[in-house]
Structure 1
Amino acid sequence: MAKRVVLVDDDPVLLALSESILSTEYEVQSFTSPESALFAVAAEVPDLIVSDVVMPLMSGYEFCEKVRKIPECADVPVLLISAYGDPVRAVESGADDYLLKPYRTEDLLGAARELIVIRSHEARMNLNLIGQQLLIAGQEKAIDAHAPDTVTGLPSLYATIPQIRAALGPDSHVLIVYLDISPLHDRDEIYGWKAFDQLLKAVAEILQKIEGFFISNDYFITMNRPLSNSIVIVQIDREGKYRSNPETMEIMIKSLQTKLLKELEYIFSNRTLKEFVLNIGYGQMFHKTSLPFIRLFYRALRDAEWTAHRKTEAQHLELKRDFSTFLRHGQVKTLFQPVFGEQNGQSVILGYEALSRGPEGQSLENPEILYNVAKELGQTAALDFKCFQAAISNAASMAPGLLLFVNVEPLSILTPEFKFFLLSQDKPFPADRLVFEITEREIIDNYAEFNRNLNFFRQLGIRIAIDDAGSGYSSLNQIARIKPDYVKLDALMVRDIDSDRFKQDIVDAFAAFAHKNGIIILAEGVETQAELEHVKRVGVDYWQGYHLARPAPEFL
């Protein structure tokens, strides 16, 4: 059943225009007289009221105030339309939102949709939210919405609402500050999420001891919802010191962001911080005891969240622009990490893995971020080829006989650029010294076609490795279908293997399987002597990691 909208405008032309827009989605009842509209909404409560502000006998503000006095209409959302924006006056009259003339079709429909959605979800913002259950990560696991956050220890915003409401005076101004902390690439590994949780916890701890930011002693630091990545600060300004002063608020928000980042720099490395983006938005609530608290609070929270996300989106857009510039004109930095083995009890180098980096000092220097942006823009193969060219060029001085391991996305194997480049090199890098490490950033849909292309490279003498084996079913599936020359054990399987019996059994079985099928096995991410000794003991053929040598632009 269509939602019902009551529309009020004394100008018949504008009334007809607004009605034609709203009637595409709603059942619209139009009035040129506010008085007639009042009788109509009292007789049958609508889902939304849209009213012009400037009308001769009764202004939109007065009309809204009268609507709020009708008990059945106390929570009906009201949208005011005016050529002159006065948000404070609109809120004081009881309106939920306002729209400036001239407006576009999508502006009016968007505002109407949002207010109707807010009303339909309003119960979730009421005091009944305490004890609400949420479905997390698609699992039917109930999370108490008012329980403290398990990472930061902060209380839930939902659980704090009664305290916020109790702290309000008759004419309080409430400032809601929304901190959005987002990773610049997917945190699909346990250690990636661990770093994210550590950052979130650090931000919460800094906020609780930071000075010179809170405008009064009445403030609440909360998590927006359980297991979220956003912190909400609610400050109550009884004196109206910051009321309707956007410039002062922007200065205050910028100061908070600067202080937070400065404190975080003492705790985390620059590289870690570059993997995340911290943006802050704010919203205001002008409390009137005659108006619905939850409606006003929700709107202010929505404004704060929207401004924070808008800044985050702007930074992502800038990141995409930087990537496009880098892809056209930038230079890839190649680092080389040696792959070690043993021969007659002596350590030997099998070859080097080429590790690509984006522009130094930027977020794109991180390869995960670099490839994540490439994937978003559909430029994975183009980036792969650029990195491959750089690796071949920078490996020219590598000692004869050593292998060069190069990461290659499955999608890139299907493009002609790699083939043409290998066939047309002026000073060809020996193909029989190349090892293509097939990564798992892209899913292989058609293994028959993929293997046909792979055979072209094999005929040139290029060997094939499966990267990050042991991280899931997909890598095992790749091994069975591709039949590689090398398998590289995922670093997560190597981490603490000396003390983890479960990992020991898996790697032991993996090594036995590999050797039975003529596959050479390598271990990535060896970071301790104990890990090194254990991978040797179970029959791993070669190994690499920070314990042995860090990636560097020069060869050992």
Structure 2
Amino acid sequence: MRDTREVNDYLLESWLEFHDALREHPEIKRLLFDPVTGLPTTPLLFPRIESLLEERGEISLLCLSIVKYSKIEEIYGWKVFDDVMKEVAAALEGITGSELRDSDMVAELMISGNAFVVLLSPPRTSDQMQNENLLKLARRVEERVCLHLKSALDPAIFPKFGCYVGSSTVRHDPKIRLERIVHDALDRAMAQADSREANDAEERKARLQDIINNGAIRTLVHPILKLSDLSVLGYEALTRGPEGGEFERPDKLFKIAYDSDLVLKLERLCRHRALEVARDLPEGRLMFINIEPEAVADPELRDVMFSSLLAESDLSPSSIVLEITERTAITDFAAFRSTIEYLRTLGFSVAIDDAGAGYGSLQCLAEVRPEWLKIDISLVRGVDSDEVRAQLIESLVTFASRVGVRLVAEGIETMGELAKLRELNVEFGQGFLFTVPVAPFPADEDVRPQS
């Protein structure tokens, strides 16, 4: 083995040469450094790994995997996920000197990926790191990164991510290429992180099952107004999980339900509660009830739930609007359309949510031919200062007028947006400008533009 001074001199000389090459050829840097975090990628760790293996015989590493619980980039755009990765890099830098040592090296597994690698420097008091201590370190790093993300990210964004850390040890073997040894260790560390995610998923499923079994959900309502005079047309029933808990937000609640194959059970509970609330629906008002695409084929939806509950509550089907959400793609439009037509014969009307976003909303519009169409918040936000958004909404107004569909603009938050939507002849709307979702049913005088 080379002595330590010789190795360090060699690494320093190699790094200086490499730095010069990067300066002369920036295209190389783009291939080896992540453009979002500025961190090196795994190949740049190999010289250090090789020298440590020659010196110590083994080294330890951590792999940190960032998991998306919902379709973050599809909903919010790729910049939001980039911001999360920047915060993870900042968290790892922030724990350097405590959980991590100054001589530990942090890299990304690959460019624009969702995983980080930490090459741990050798223990100070022994030649090797004990596996028990390595696992403890992985848990501490995981906890610290999660705490940082919770404080740094928007409260609406943080629950959509998970952070899991796995660990492994690389042992020198002269019979096997270094790259294969390292990649095998990385695979083992990632598998450990994936295993922790799987265990976490099982625990989340159990907690969600408890919520469903105990009926521990709440139904709030969000008023829908006629924009010309701000009279209340009706209300959208909105489900929330236990207040202050991980399942409070509906996107997380339904994402875990889909992942855990509990969506029909959850949907039935939400539907049941919404119709219970609708028993006190003010006369002449409508109740919009969200329906997942998968739940449209639920036999209970067709044959049991509505017939019994509506009979008990004296509700007329004409006062209920079934609002089709687009959390998942509709794969069989023929069967979907058949069920929708059956529900129409019972007297219900149909709305399509999030027009302008989601999975094939235009195809859904053409196939379902709803009575109501909700304009997605992504088009409404800033419509008063964005000509493209205004033109898109104007085209929807023209379309709705020609085919007899009523439009509802979602997510109105400013007086400027309200004024522009009125100018574009959008008939109905809802949003935080008027009120946040509240317990049913607010007094009309409380549903007014807020200062």
- TM-score normalised by the chain length of structure 1: 0.68
Give, in whole Å, the separation in 1 of the partners of 2:344 and 2:183.
Answer: 61
Work out the CA distance in 1 between the residues paired with 2:207 and 2:82: 28
2:333–2:367 Cα contact (<8 Å) kept: yes
CA distance in 2, matches of 1:487, 1:314: 40
Does residue 530 in structure 1 map to residue 413 in structure 2? no
Aligned twin of 2:438: 552
Q: Is the 8 A contact 1:470 1:489 kept in 2?
A: yes
Distance 2:141 2:332 in 1: 51
Structure 1 residue 143 displacement after superposition: 11
8 Å CA contact 1:170, 1:289 repeated in 2: no
Of 242, 256, 259, the residue aligned with 2:144 is: 259
* Higher fraction of helix: 2
Are positions 1:179 and 2:64 aligned together?
yes
Render the CA deviation track for 1:250-303: whole Å, top value 9, x for unaligned. 332232233223333322355533222111111122447786432332232222
Once residues 155 and 180 of structure 2 are traced to their aligned partners in structure 1, the CA distance between those partners, rounded to angstroms, is 41
Is residue 219 of structure 1 aligned with residue 104 of structure 2? yes
1:321-400 alignment to 2 at 5 Å? 321-343=206-228, 346-400=229-283
What amino acid is the match of 2:133? Answer: T
Identify the residue that residue 340 of structure 2 maps to in structure 1.
Answer: 454
Determine the structure 2 residue equivalent to 1:469. Answer: 355
In 2, distance between residues paired with 1:475 and 1:443? Answer: 9
Report the alpha carbon displacement of residue 503 of structure 1 after superposing the two structures with TM: 2.0
CA distance, structure 2, for counterparts of residue 250 and residue 182 of structure 1: 20
On the 8 A contact 1:146/1:159 being kept in 2, the answer is no
Aligned-partner Cα distance in 2 for 1:260–1:234: 17
Displacement, 1:406?
0.8
Note if 1:424 corresponds to 2:308: yes
Paired residue for 1:517? 403
2:412–2:418 CA contact under 8 A, matched in 1 = yes
Unaligned runs of 5+ in 2: 1-20, 443-451
Q: 2:166 aligns with which of 255, 278, 281?
A: 281
Give 2:31's aligned residue.
Answer: 146
In 2, the alpha carbon distance for the partners of 1:465 and 1:289 equals 66
Alpha-carbon distance in structure 2 between the residues aligned to 1:310 and 1:286: 23
- 3-state SS in 2 of match to 1:279: strand
Q: In the alignment, is the contact (CA less than 8 A) between 2:326 and 2:359 conserved in 1?
A: no
Shift of 1:159: 3.2
Q: Deviations over 1:336-389 (max 9, x none)?
A: 11112234xx32221111111234444333322322333334443332221111
Distance in 2 between residues matched to 1:186 and 1:251, nearest whole Å? 31
Write out per-residue CA displacement over residues 128-173 of structure 1, whole angstroms, 9 at most, x where no aligned residue: xx99xxxxxxxxxx99883322332222112332354356652254
2:6 alignment counterpart? none
User: What's the offset of the Cα at 1:516?
Assistant: 1.8
Identity %: 28
Deviation string 1:5-58 (CA, Å, 9 cap, x unpaired) is xxxxxxxxxxxxxxxxxxxxxxxxxxxxxxxxxxxxxxxxxxxxxxxxxxxxxx
Instruction: Considering fraction of residues, name the structure with more strand.
Output: 1
Q: Distance in 1 between matches of 2:438 and 2:127?
A: 52
Q: Could you list the per-position Cα deviations for residues 60-88 of structure 1 after superposition, in whole angstroms to 9, with x for gaps in the alignment?
A: xxxxxxxxxxxxxxxxxxxxxxxxxxxxx
Structure 2 counterpart SS, 1:364: coil
The DSSP-based 3-state class of the residue aligned with 2:383 is coil
Separation in 2 of the partners of 1:161 and 1:535?
58
Equivalent-residue separation in structure 2 for 1:143 and 1:180 (angstroms): 26
Secondary structure of the 1:233 match is: strand
Distance 2:252 2:281 in 1: 28
Given candidates 27, 42, 61, the residue that maps to 1:157 is 42
Secondary structure at the counterpart of residue 183 of structure 2: helix
Q: Give 2:83's match in structure 1, choosing from 198, 220, 226.
A: 198
Structure 1: how far apart are the matches of 2:143 and 2:347? 54
Counterpart of 1:150 in 2: which secondary structure? coil
Return the alpha-carbon distance in structure 1 between the equivalents of residues 335 and 419 of structure 2: 40
Superimposed CA distance per residue, residues 207-255 of structure 1 (whole angstroms, 9 cap, x where no aligned partner)? 1132444664432111111121111111221646472412222332232
CA distance in 2, matches of 1:429, 1:240: 75
**Which whole-Å CA distance do the structure 2 matches of 1:378 and 1:291 have between them?**
43
1:415 pairs with 2:298:
yes
2:12 maps to: none
Distance 2:172 2:381 in 1: 54
For 1:14-53, what aligned pairs fall within 5 Å after superposition?
none
**Partner SS for 1:170:** helix
Q: Residue 74 of structure 1 corresponds to which residue in structure 2?
A: none
Q: What is the DSSP-based 3-state SS (H/G/I as helix, E as strand, rest coil) of the residue aligned with 1:185? A: coil
> Structure 1's 450 and 169: CA in aligned 2 closer, same or farther, altered over 3 A?
closer
Shift of 1:179: 0.8
Q: How big is the shift at 1:412?
A: 2.3
Q: Does 1:228 align with 2:113?
A: yes
Distance in 1 between the 2:271 and 2:28 partners? 47
Task: Please give the TM-score of this superposition, normalised by the length of structure 2.
Answer: 0.83
More moved, 405-414 vs 482-491: 405-414
Q: Does 1:478 align with 2:361?
A: no
The answer for the alignment partner of 1:209 in structure 2 is: 94
Decide whether aligned partners of structure 1 residues 517 and 277 sit closer, same or farther in structure 2, where only a CA change above 3 A counts: same
8 Å CA contact 1:436, 1:462 repeated in 2: yes
Q: 1:390 to 1:193 in 2, by over 3 A?
A: farther
Q: How far is 1:324 from its partner?
A: 2.8
Change (3 A) 1:546 1:192: farther
Separation in structure 2 between the aligned mates of residue 406 and residue 143 of structure 1, nearest angstrom: 54
Q: What whole-Å deviation, never above 9, does each CA across 1:389-420 have from its counterpart, x for those lacking one?
A: 11111233332222111111233233331232
Q: Check conservation: 2:99, 2:141, Cα contact below 8 A.
A: no
Unmatched segments (≥5 aa) in structure 1: 1-129, 132-141
**Partner of residue 309, structure 1:** 194
Q: Is the Cα–Cα contact under 8 Å of residues 123 and 129 in structure 2 kept in the other structure? A: no
Return closer, same or farther for 1:298/1:189 CA change in 2, 3 Å cut-off: closer
Q: Deviations over 1:520-547 (max 9, x none)?
A: 1111122333322222221111111223
Instruction: Judge conservation of contact 1:407–1:437 (CA < 8 Å) in 2.
Output: yes
Which of the pair has the greater relative contact order for Cα pairs under 8 Å at 6+ separation?
A: 2
Shift of 1:445: 4.3
Paired residues in the alignment total 416
C-alpha distance in structure 1 between counterparts of 2:297 and 2:176, whole Å: 62
Q: Where does residue 64 of structure 1 map in the other structure?
A: none
1:503 maps to which of 386, 389, 400? 389
CA distance in 1, matches of 2:329, 2:140: 44
User: Which structure 2 residues correspond to residues 55-66 of structure 1 after superposition, within 5 A?
Assistant: none
Check 1:363–1:381 CA distance in 2 against 1; reply closer, same or farther (3 A cut). Answer: same
Q: How far apart, CA to CA, are the structure 2 residues paired with 1:187 and 1:512?
A: 31
Task: Provide the secondary structure at the position in 2 that maps to 1:282.
Answer: strand
